[in-house]
Amino acid sequence: YSEAQAAAAEFMRLAPDNPTARRQLAAAYSVSGDVEAARQLVQEYLQLEPDHSADHIRGRLPARNTATVEAFIDALCNAGLPR
């Protein structure tokens, strides 16, 4: 997940107001065990997208593998994203 963290951190650097960048980095931190950093990023994400939840994200991600989508959502929920 270190490569995912690096890519998402670069995405955040290039697009600091993009909520997706925070969401991606939060998931990478959550899965790798840095829950505190993930929680902070989820809070920032929710400030940018206050109505978002797991249900909002589900079905909107461009992934063919539903297990991958659910793992991503679980990582975000473990960091504080509402279900």
Average pLDDT for 51-67: 88
According to the model, what pLDDT value does residue 17 have? 92
According to the model, what pLDDT value does residue 1 have? 78
Helix, strand, coil percentages, rounded to 5, for the chain: 70, 0, 30
C-alpha distances (whole Å) from 21 to each of 32, 38, 67 are 17, 12, 21
Convert the pLDDT of each residue in 69-82 to its tens digit.
999 999 999 999 99
According to the model, what pLDDT value does residue 60 have? 84
Convert the pLDDT of each residue in 7-52 to its tens digit.
999 999 999 999 999 999 999 999 999 999 999 999 999 999 999 9
